[in-house]
Amino acid sequence: MENKLSGFGLDPTGVERRTFLEEGESSPKQSLYSLSLSASLYLACFHLLSLKLGFILLLLSIYKMDLDLSAPHSTGTTIIGVTYNGGVVLGADSRTSTGMYVANRASDKITELTDNVYVCRSGSAADTQVISDYVRYFLHQHTIQLGQPATVKVAANLVRLLSYQNKNMLQAGVIVGGWDKYEGGQIYSVPLGGTILRQPFSIGGSGSSYLYGFFDQAWKEDMTHEEAEQLVVKAASLAMARDGASGGVVRTVTINAEGVTRKFYGGDTLPLWHDELEPTNSLLDLLSSSVPEPMST
Amino acid sequence: MVKMTDLPTKGGFSFDLCTRNQMLLDKGVQMPPFRKTGTTIVGLVFQDGVVLGADTRATEGPIVADKNCEKIHFMAPNIYCCGAGTAADTEAVTDMVSSQLQLHRYATGRESRVVTALTLLKSHLFSYQGHVSAALVLGGVDVTGPHLQTVYPHGSTDTLPFATMGSGSLAAMSVFESKYREGLTREEGIELVAEAICAGIFNDLGSGSNVDVCVITKGQTEYLRNYQLPNPRTYISSKGYSFVKGQTVFLEQLLLLVSKLVHVEAIFQLRVDEWQYRINWGLVPCLC
């Protein structure tokens, strides 16, 4: 395991710090982290990361495309976690983008860490997948050693440790949510930089910028499960309507004392917002259907 | 006194020369172009298994370096992997993981699983932080069923029913998005894959030449090399070429004796290795 960890460059013990960015550029991530600017921070980091790949892009100059298929695979996303009386509801969109191209339009951003704890991932897809794999492995060991299911707090803290101690190398903003018998349903937000913050609800990803005002108005304490689920789906579809980097379908995961329920909301079941059109096969059908009225003098 | 040079190397990519490279680039020195497979690679899941497809053009900048290269790499008898990106990187990484899978098969005594190959590829690529430029479509059928996964150079993976990668991925994806449905038959699957690759060949400058297809089902794999050749040479003179005798001046004539051909029994060699392995590990009872 030692070799595997040092090969990755990730160091959960925090003893050694390895800085990888030695290509004449300072790490953009170090200088920008604060909770309130999480959305613009995510966008800024993404652009700067693209600059780092500049010399590879030079060599691709023949295939000059605005799409930039060699950009790091990222989840420019909308993720939401909400507590209700009895548990939590986690929700996410399903778009994974590489530059301007949608690499996967039906991805699953809500990943299992244990039976009772799930995590919503946003930021670099590679980084968040590796973090989830590590934390799932650690939690499995921890559960065996403890003799009972891990608590959500432990899971969130493991994510936070990896995120904080490798902050120079990672671009990962996650929301950890779950249920345990001591504290019930809990949501922990672990944004870029590795802060951990317990909140009654949390939003993340590039699409979250459009939801701060919505949640200020629509959130209330002690909702029922149905209310919480509807809130999450409505919020996700609002963000998907306005954010280019979010889209596809909405996936939700409900975690409570009874267990885990996964739900899927296809694109056509989501409500349409301002200026959104009904899906049609061709605009020509709309245009040719109405016959122009004769002019009257 | 221990000098810096005496410390054991830690492994992973060595960034020592990166500042020097950047300085050279700034001074205007041109880096030699990588040989890339500017490519179209696709995969789809049909009712009995997985179909993988690839074009066969390898480019070095604007030049076609290889008109008929093989982009579908062997990983295990039941797992194949298409590779896009830098040709050296895809070759090296698939060879490496293929060897690791074989050792794992010897150790476990079981058929390799696609998720094993996926995890090995993913962890290798992540640890090189995207500098190993290999974008792969990994497909296979194991005891748990058919699997199709894409692996990106930074180490992220996606599991999909149909996938395309490479510079021609947009053209191929448009074909898949219009025509893919669940439960395709083998013939329909192969035809759809060939159509998607052709879309990449004809609409993308980085892809061209022929179509390679690989069909993997439970217990059987068929590698259809050059399944379609939609770009034949059209400039062959119909009258043939007539070279007048005596026109070429030759300076020296060297006659080589070709001895009898040696026919190598490859299967026999493998058996010998396997026996050697078994003897070494005490798996063969010694008879007096």
Interface ipTM > 0.85: no
CA A190 to chain centroid:
11
- Give pLDDT, residue A44: 43
How far does B247 lie from chain A, in Å, by closest CA?
42
A9, A23, A24 member nearest B127 (Cβ): A9
Question: DSSP labels for chain A?
Answer: -HHHHHHHT--TT---------SS---TTTT---GGGHHHHHHHHHHHHHHHTHHHHHHTGGG--TT-TTS--EE---EEEEEETTEEEEEE---EEETTEEEETT---EEEEETTEEEEEEEEHHHHHHHHHHHHHHHHHHHHHHSSPPPHHHHHHHHHHHHHHTTTT--EEEEEEEEETTTEEEEEEE-TT---EEESEEEESGGGGGTHHHHHHH--SS--HHHHHHHHHHHHHHHHHH-TT--S-EEEEEEETTEEEEEEE-GGGSPP-TTPPPP-S-HHHHHHHSPPPPP--
pTM summary value = 0.72
Looking at residue B282, its pLDDT comes to 65
CA gap B170, B203 in Å, rounded: 10
Using only the alpha carbons of chain B, give its radius of gyration.
24
| Interchain pair B156, A23: CB under 8 A | no
Nearest chain B Cα distance for residue A209, angstroms: 25
Would you call B156 and A22 a contact, using CB atoms and an 8 Å cutoff? no
Q: What is the pLDDT along chain B (288 residues), one digit of tens a residue?
A: 445 555 566 667 778 888 888 888 888 887 766 666 579 999 999 999 999 999 999 988 888 999 999 999 999 999 999 999 999 999 999 999 999 999 999 999 999 999 999 999 999 999 999 999 999 999 999 999 999 999 999 999 999 999 999 999 999 999 999 999 999 999 999 999 999 999 999 999 989 899 999 999 998 999 999 999 999 888 777 777 777 888 888 888 888 777 766 666 655 555 666 667 766 666 666 554
Identify the pLDDT of residue A99: 84
* Residue A19 confidence (pLDDT) above 50: no
Of B11, B34, B167, the CB nearest to A7: B11
Interface of A with B (CB under 8 A): 3-4, 6-9, 20, 22-24, 53, 55-56, 58-59, 62-63, 67, 69-70, 72-73, 96, 98, 101, 103-104, 106-107, 124-126, 129-130, 169
- Which range (A18-32, A66-80, A216-230, B187-201) has the least confidence? A18-32
Tokens found for residue A220 = 């209330």
Distances (CA, A) of B167 to A117, B94, B171: 39, 20, 9
- Consecutive H or E run containing B201: helix B186-203
Residue A239: count other Cβ atoms within 10 Å of its Cβ. 27
In chain A, what residues touch B206 (CB-CB under 8 Å)? Answer: 63
CA separation, residue A60 to residues A178, B33, B42, B185 (Å): 44, 9, 21, 38
pLDDT at A176: 98
What is the maximal distance between C-alpha atoms in chain B? 79
pLDDT at A65: 41
Residue with tokens 């969130």: A156
Provide the number of CB pairs (under 8 Å) joining chain A to chain B: 89
pLDDT at A110: 97
With CB atoms and an 8 Å threshold, state whether A59 touches B158. no
Cα–Cα distance, B155 to B126 (Å, whole number)? 4
